[in-house]
């Protein structure tokens, strides 16, 4: 089984933020953030929206696409 890149972890690195910072900002247990970053569990959509807001990213930046987007032929 292919291991997927964790987009939350990538965005945290790109923003020079830590999972500890995210836990403190969201007032959550750091172990919860750790489980999200290791793909053991995933946040709810509401929480994902909160994460996107505090990281100032589009929520789609935190998701792994499930389908390839077809490009239009001209």
Per-residue pLDDT tens for 8-61? 999 999 999 999 999 999 999 999 999 999 999 999 999 999 999 999 999 999
- Kindly state whether residue 2 falls inside one of the protein's structural domains: no
- Kindly state whether residue 73 falls inside one of the protein's structural domains: no
- Kindly state whether residue 74 falls inside one of the protein's structural domains: no
Residues 12 and 19: their CA atoms lie apart, in Å, by 7
State how many domains the chain has.
Answer: 1
CATH number for position 39: 1.10.260.40
Does position 1 have pLDDT exceeding 60, yes or no?
Answer: no
């Amino acid at each position: 089984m292919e291991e997927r890149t964790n987009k939350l972890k990538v965005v945290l690195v790109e923003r020079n933020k830590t999972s500890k910072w995210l836990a403190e900002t969201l007032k959550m247990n750091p172990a919860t953030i750790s489980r999200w970053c290791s793909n053991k569990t995933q946040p709810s959509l509401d929480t994902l929206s909160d994460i996107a807001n505090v990281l100032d990213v589009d929520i789609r930046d935190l998701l792994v696409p499930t389908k390839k987007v077809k490009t239009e032929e001209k």
